[in-house]
Structure 1
Amino acid sequence: MKIALLGATGRVGQAFIKEAQKHGHSDIFALVRSAETALPIPEKHIITGNARRREDVDRLISKADTVVSCLGTDGGDTLSAAVIHIIDSMKRHHVQRLITIGTTGILQSRLMPDKYRFESPESKRKTARAAKEHARVYEMLLGEDVDWTIICPTYLPDGDASGVYRFEQDILPEGGSRITVGDTAHFLYRELLNPQFVRKRVGLAY
């Protein structure tokens, strides 16, 4: 398996590289903004570019058969703009599998099942800007013929992987309030090897 990784310099991206390498997985290709970025992967696997540029995303995905995105919203529409390029490139290179990191805001509300969590009293966020951007991505993926999974961790403190956590399709595990970066990466790698939630969202928490 050859993995195209976006968001490699973020906390979850870095933890994912560590988790994959722990299991002997070395075929990871990463798109980074600066040529001076240091990542624990071979220099020839690092591609300098921007996820907002179609040609840069295409250069990355052309090297892989699976895509992992740990991109954040970057305060704007970076995420939805990048996903357009990701999907386009996946189709061009016949790549079918995509796993991306989302937010619990786009899971369904337990109190109001016809609404996203960010639209319900369950959400404690002062602003829904990031959740709305993640929702745009989810709604875009619903209409695409790719095998996507959106992993939706709750509050993400730093911490190593314990391998012990809860997950649930489309909703946040009841009472869940945190999950470490390490365990998020652990679940991401687990889903990569043994897909359980194809074309689904999955809530992740302790």
Structure 2
Amino acid sequence: MKIALLGATGRVGQAFIKEAQKHGDIEIFALVRSAGTPLPISEKHIITGNARRREDIGRLISKADTVVSCLGTDGDDTLSAAMIHIIDSMKQHHVQRLITIGTAGILQSRLMPDKYRFESSESKRKSTRAAKEHARVYEMLLAEDIDWTIICPTYLPDGEAAGVYRFEQDQLPEGGTEITVGDTAHFLYRELMNPRFVRKRVGLAY
């Protein structure tokens, strides 16, 4: 399996590379902003570019059969802007599978099932800007004929993978308050190798 990885230098991206290397059964190509960015993959697998540029996304995805996005919101609309290019490039290069990291805020509220968590009292976050950006991506993917999965962890402290956690389709596991970066990457690899949540959101927590 050949993976086009976006957000490789972020916490989840780095943890995913580490998790994948434990198994050695996938080949990772990564897009980075700056030449010479240190990553524990072959230099020939590192592509310098910007996720906001369609041609850079296209160069990355042309090398792969699956896309993994660990991009954050970056304080602006980078996430949704990049997703437009990701979808277009996937169609162009006949890539069908996408796994992306979202946020628990875009899962359905248990108290108000017709609303996202970030729109209800379940969410403790004061700012909804990032959640709204992730919601735009989710709504964008709903309209596309590709096999996407959005992994939605709650609060993400640093920490290694223990491999023991809870997950639930469309909602956050009840009472869940956190999940480490390591275990988020562990679940990402697990879903990559054994898809269970195609065209679904999945909440992740201890």
TM-score class normalised by the smaller sequence:
over 0.9
What percent identity do the matched residue pairs reach?
Answer: 88
The answer (yes or no) to whether the contact 1:6–1:51 under 8 Å persists in 2 is yes
Q: Match of 2:105?
A: 105
Q: Match of 1:177?
A: 177
Change (3 A) 1:200 1:26: closer
The answer (yes or no) to whether the contact 2:3–2:26 under 8 Å persists in 1 is no
Amino acid at match of 1:98: L
Secondary structure of the residue aligned to 1:171 is: coil
Which TM-score applies when normalising by structure 2?
A: 0.99
For 1:132-147, list aligned pairs within 5 A: 132-147=132-147
For 1:125-204, list aligned pairs within 5 A: 125-204=125-204
The answer (yes or no) to whether the contact 1:16–1:188 under 8 Å persists in 2 is yes
- The separation in 2 between residues aligned to 1:36 and 1:118, in whole angstroms, is 38
The answer (yes or no) to whether the contact 2:3–2:29 under 8 Å persists in 1 is yes
- The separation in 2 between residues aligned to 1:97 and 1:134, in whole angstroms, is 19
Once the two structures are superposed, residues 182-206 of structure 1 have per-residue CA deviations (whole angstroms, 9 ceiling, x without a partner) of 0000000000000000000000000
Once the two structures are superposed, residues 59-79 of structure 1 have per-residue CA deviations (whole angstroms, 9 ceiling, x without a partner) of 000000000000000000000
Moved over 6 A (4+): none
Amino acid at match of 1:157: P
Residue 65 (structure 1) aligned with residue 65 (structure 2): yes
Amino acid at match of 1:152: C
Aligned residues: 206
For 1:10-159, list aligned pairs within 5 A: 10-159=10-159
RMSD in angstroms over aligned alpha carbons? 0.5
Secondary structure of the residue aligned to 1:74 is: coil
Deviation, structure 1 residue 10: 0.1
> Unaligned regions of 5+ residues in structure 2, if any?
none
Which TM-score applies when normalising by structure 1?
A: 0.99
- The separation in 1 between residues aligned to 2:24 and 2:74, in whole angstroms, is 31
Deviation, structure 1 residue 36: 1.8
- The separation in 2 between residues aligned to 1:6 and 1:185, in whole angstroms, is 14
> Unaligned regions of 5+ residues in structure 1, if any?
none
